[in-house]
Amino acid sequence: MPLPDRRLLVDPEAGIAPEAAGEPDAPIQKPKRGRTRKLADLEIADKVQPLKPAAPPPKPVDKLAKLGLKSDIDLVLHLPMRYEDETSITPIGHLIPGDNTQTEGVVFDNEIAYRPRRQLLVKMHDDAGDELTLRFLNFYGSQVKQMAIGVRLRVRGDVRGGFFGMEMVHPQVRPVDEDTPLPQALTPVYPSTAGVSQAYLRKAIDSALSRVHLPELLPEKIARAHLQPLNVPGLLDAVKTLHHPHADSDENALIDGTHPAWTRIKFEELLAQQLSLKRAHEERRTRAAPMMPRLHDAPESLVARFLATLPFKLTGAQERVCAEISGELTLPHPMQRLLQGDVGSGKTIVAALAAAQAIDAGYQAALMAPTEILAEQHARKLRAWLEPLGVTVAWLAGSLKAKEKRAALEAAASGAAQLVIGTHAIIQDAVEFARLGFAIIDEQHRFGVAQRLALRAKAQNAGDGAQNFQPHQLMMSATPIPRTLAMTYYADLDVSTIDELPPGRTPILTKLVSDNRRDEVIARVREAALTGRQVYWVCPLIEESETLQLQTAVETYETLAAALPELRIGLVHGRLPPAEKGAVMDAFSRAEVQLLVATTVIEVGVDVPNASLMVIEHAERFGLAQLHQLRGRVGRGSAASVCVLMYAGPLSQTARARLQTMRETADGFEIARRDLEIRGPGEFLGARQSGAAMLRFASLENDGWLIEPARAAADQMLAQFPEAVTNHLARWLGAREQYLKA
């Protein structure tokens, strides 16, 4: 494709276009001192004229650096986020209300009106004599002057049929001459930030385009095998097309991202992402970790004795993932494995068995959970399993008294504690481990990358001085991730999946009930409690205000206590002092409390098999994953369980979709799939997941089909063209790559 003329005319010495420096992205700019041309003129002018060297702007490079644009390649790969069609002018007489259109005319009236409020009204007409009003509710004096009577304006905006005829409110405006040419192609609109105007960016990018060569980096063989089938243009071609679409290119495809030029870019980007994740994965195999032999068959080993006392038989799925984990712990490289399994699938025992293997090998294990309630549940369970076998377990949480805390810290530092269980408290500076060899992170998505790194750093001295020593890591999650997502977000992790629930679970019946049937629900609660079952009542989520949420929880508790005087009722929420929280939870697990009123603090981990009825108030405010987690607190025993989702109408479309999903399925994988459909992957996983941070152009919603080819290409490139890998990563990720060093 031929270059538009203007780029050939750009003065290479001018470098990054200086004239536009310091201009925010507004349609019309106040002229700066020492400048004779206005930006609006410039936008047109620079398309047909070479840049004139001007006074040096205040550090233009810094502005671009804000956008992460440091080199010509960065600039050239800074691709438009959308396009505007300014290639044609619609006569005023042909404007259609509701359309976003460009038109042109000459100002014949310009006044500031004060009713109904202060506003600038500019009237223009075109050669046919048709009139258009431009209305500005916020405006500068300079704008009034710029749209003076007699000036020809090219404007673009949403057309409205106003009381006095056609109008545009706050259109983009640029003064033009009668013979100012129209752009020949769609106008790119770039992602930007405050203080960096489109004109400035465009110029900087065009200037970079004129200098840069952008050679193909993919080896012939890779291109032939993986690119050719996609039928996409060469890289430079693709980039040029995207910056300066040809007048006859498929506009819709450019705009919705399906144009072959986009496909080429997205492939490159996904390839970079896959390479980076895979390389991180490979790099891990060069680091040292303690070898922990499998002693399942040695009768004296902790693992063997633990297995012998296990209160139940492991499911097939548990056996399988145990074998995967156990095998990897024997290797001298750090394991980094995600254990995913639905709520209640029995991940804890799998983690405990792995911890036993670490302890058998003479190392310490640590388990970190996101909330104190959950950590405590783990502590209780693992203590019951392991202490009788002679294992010393230490407990570390923020709520510990100073003396207890000192004791726990000492036990961790001396190595007396073989297993340390706790919350974030585990990763605080004061905590040291004698020989940490294995770290378990429950509900890993609730922790940030930094926290996972901090836990890993605690293992430094575990290798008896060996360098780069890292513990094996097991991350657990009850939010199962569909395959393509796992491939893009977690390509640096190995994944073990428990896809089977322990036997004897009774399916949970989920009911949607409008909250005007509250009395009926309360009657059911009474009936369930009086027949010996236990009940959770989950208070409404109030995201905006924790105080309000707390207040609501207390009120809910009081209302229920008044309505159900014959029941023993407990209240648990996040602000309760830990000792009280613990006492209430204890009482509930001993069935002394029949009805537990709770905030979402019970969302994860709480395990009371006798609880078989759950009421969730304002269920429409919760996310799908959260509802699924909450519901997973019931259905853990043999009694038939019911989950009542109480909602207040009217429901939004997504709330309706969520509640319907909850009623229709209890399968965590299916729920995750639908959640993804409803929310999209960004929100679903949170941007903090490493893989997502690397994608600028490809979206997992629309471009999932490209992942498989990108993966295949990545595998082959890593195996056969290591140098090309390095170059490709430098080009596409640059600084971004550090996101995933976690």
- Contact pick of 101, 187, 273, 345 for ligand ADP (by CB under 6 A): 345
Binding to ligand ADP by CB under 6 A, coded x per residue (else -) over 584-613, reads: -----------------------x------
Cis peptide before 650 (omega within 30 of 0): yes
Least distance in angstroms from the C-beta of 297 to ligand ADP? 21
- Contact pick of 134, 235, 321, 349 for ligand ADP (by CB under 6 A): 349
Least distance in angstroms from the C-beta of 637 to ligand ADP? 9
Count of residues touching ligand ADP (by CB under 6 A): 17
270 binds, among ligand ADP, Mg ion, none (CB under 5 to 8 A by kind): none
| DSSP states of 283-302 | HHTTSB-------TT-TTSH
- Give the C-alpha distances (Å, rounded to integers) separating 542 from 242, 372, 561, 572, 621: 44, 21, 22, 16, 8
- Contact pick of 271, 302, 343, 368 for ligand ADP (by CB under 6 A): 343
Choose the stretch contacting ligand ADP; rule: CB under 6 A; options: 93-101, 306-314, 407-415, 553-561. Answer: 306-314
Q: Which is nearer to ligand ADP, 158 or 607 (by Cβ)?
A: 607
Residue with tokens 């293992």: 459
Least distance in angstroms from the C-beta of 495 to Mg ion? 17
Binding to ligand ADP by CB under 6 A, coded x per residue (else -) over 623-662, reads: -------------x--------------------------
Q: Does 734 bind ligand ADP (CB under 6 A)?
A: no
Least distance in angstroms from the C-beta of 365 to ligand ADP? 16
Contacts with Mg ion, residue ranges (CB under 5 A): 605
Q: Does 667 bind ligand ADP (CB under 6 A)?
A: no
- State the Cα torsion 541-542-544-549 to the nearest 10°: -120
- Contact pick of 301, 315, 364, 479 for ligand ADP (by CB under 6 A): 315
Least distance in angstroms from the C-beta of 663 to ligand ADP? 21
Least distance in angstroms from the C-beta of 694 to ligand ADP? 30
Q: Which is nearer to Mg ion, 463 or 605 (by Cβ)?
A: 605
Q: Which is nearer to ligand ADP, 46 or 442 (by Cβ)?
A: 442
Q: Which is nearer to Mg ion, 540 or 605 (by Cβ)?
A: 605
Could you give the maximum distance between any two Cα atoms of the chain, in Å?
A: 99
Least distance in angstroms from the C-beta of 322 to ligand ADP? 11
d(CA 431, CA 375) in angstroms, rounded, equals 17
- Contact pick of 219, 334, 344, 668 for ligand ADP (by CB under 6 A): 344
470 binds, among Mg ion, ligand ADP, none (CB under 5 to 8 A by kind): none
- The candidate with the shortest Cα–Cα distance to 314, out of 359, 345, 340, 292, is 345
* Element at 45 (helix H, strand E): helix 39-48
Least distance in angstroms from the C-beta of 541 to Mg ion? 21
Least distance in angstroms from the C-beta of 321 to ligand ADP? 11
Distance of CA 35 to the CA centre of its chain: 44
Q: Which is nearer to ligand ADP, 239 or 350 (by Cβ)?
A: 350
Q: Which is nearer to Mg ion, 77 or 367 (by Cβ)?
A: 367
**DSSP state, residue 429:** T
Q: Which is nearer to ligand ADP, 497 or 556 (by Cβ)?
A: 497
d(CA 365, CA 392) in angstroms, rounded, equals 11
Least distance in angstroms from the C-beta of 627 to Mg ion? 17
Q: Which is nearer to Mg ion, 273 or 340 (by Cβ)?
A: 340
- The candidate with the shortest Cα–Cα distance to 645, out of 534, 508, 553, is 508
Choose the stretch contacting ligand ADP; rule: CB under 6 A; options: 310-318, 360-368, 421-429, 511-519. Answer: 310-318
- The candidate with the shortest Cα–Cα distance to 676, out of 661, 691, 697, is 661
Q: Which residues contact 384 (CB under 8 A, 6 or more apart)?
A: none
Site residues for ligand ADP, 379-398, by CB under 6 A, read: none
* Element at 9 (helix H, strand E): helix 5-9
Beta-carbon neighbour count of residue 646 at 10 Å? Answer: 22
* Element at 160 (helix H, strand E): strand 152-162
315 binds, among Mg ion, ligand ADP, none (CB under 5 to 8 A by kind): ligand ADP
Least distance in angstroms from the C-beta of 348 to Mg ion? 5
Pairing relation of β-strands 119-125 and 534-538?
A: unpaired
Distance of CA 201 to the CA centre of its chain: 27
Choose the stretch contacting ligand ADP; rule: CB under 6 A; options: 78-86, 138-146, 347-355, 731-739. Answer: 347-355
Distance of CA 205 to the CA centre of its chain: 29
d(CA 175, CA 188) in angstroms, rounded, equals 20
- Give the C-alpha distances (Å, rounded to integers) separating 429 from 86, 219, 426: 58, 47, 9
Q: Is 164 exposed, middle or buried (0-12, 13-18, 19+ CB in 10 A)?
A: exposed
Q: Which residue is nearest to ligand ADP (CB)?
A: 346
Site residues for ligand ADP, 160-219, by CB under 6 A, read: none
343 binds, among ligand ADP, Mg ion, none (CB under 5 to 8 A by kind): ligand ADP
Q: Report residue 564: phi and psi, to 5°.
A: -130, 65
Choose the stretch contacting ligand ADP; rule: CB under 6 A; options: 55-63, 217-225, 313-321, 518-526. Answer: 313-321
User: Six-digit token pair at 403?
Assistant: 């003396």
Q: Report residue 138: phi and psi, to 5°.
A: -120, 130
- Contact pick of 18, 341, 463, 540 for ligand ADP (by CB under 6 A): 341
Least distance in angstroms from the C-beta of 448 to ligand ADP? 21
Alpha helix locations (H) across 340-482? 347-360, 372-386, 402-414, 449-457
- Contact pick of 478, 535, 598, 611 for ligand ADP (by CB under 6 A): 478
Q: Does 348 bind ligand ADP (CB under 6 A)?
A: yes
Q: Which is nearer to ligand ADP, 147 or 351 (by Cβ)?
A: 351
| DSSP states of 660-729 | HHHHH---HHHHHHHHHHHH-HHHHH-TTSHHHHT-SS--TTT-GGGHHHHHHHHHHHHHH-HHHHHHHH
- Contact pick of 54, 73, 314, 678 for ligand ADP (by CB under 6 A): 314
Angle between helices 653-664 and 668-679 (to 10 degrees): 170
Least distance in angstroms from the C-beta of 684 to Mg ion? 20
Alpha helix locations (H) across 191-287? 198-211, 220-222, 235-243, 251-256, 260-284
- Contact pick of 312, 384, 410, 547 for ligand ADP (by CB under 6 A): 312
496 binds, among Mg ion, ligand ADP, none (CB under 5 to 8 A by kind): none
Binding site for ligand ADP (CB under 6 A): 312-315, 318, 341, 343-349, 478, 502, 607, 636
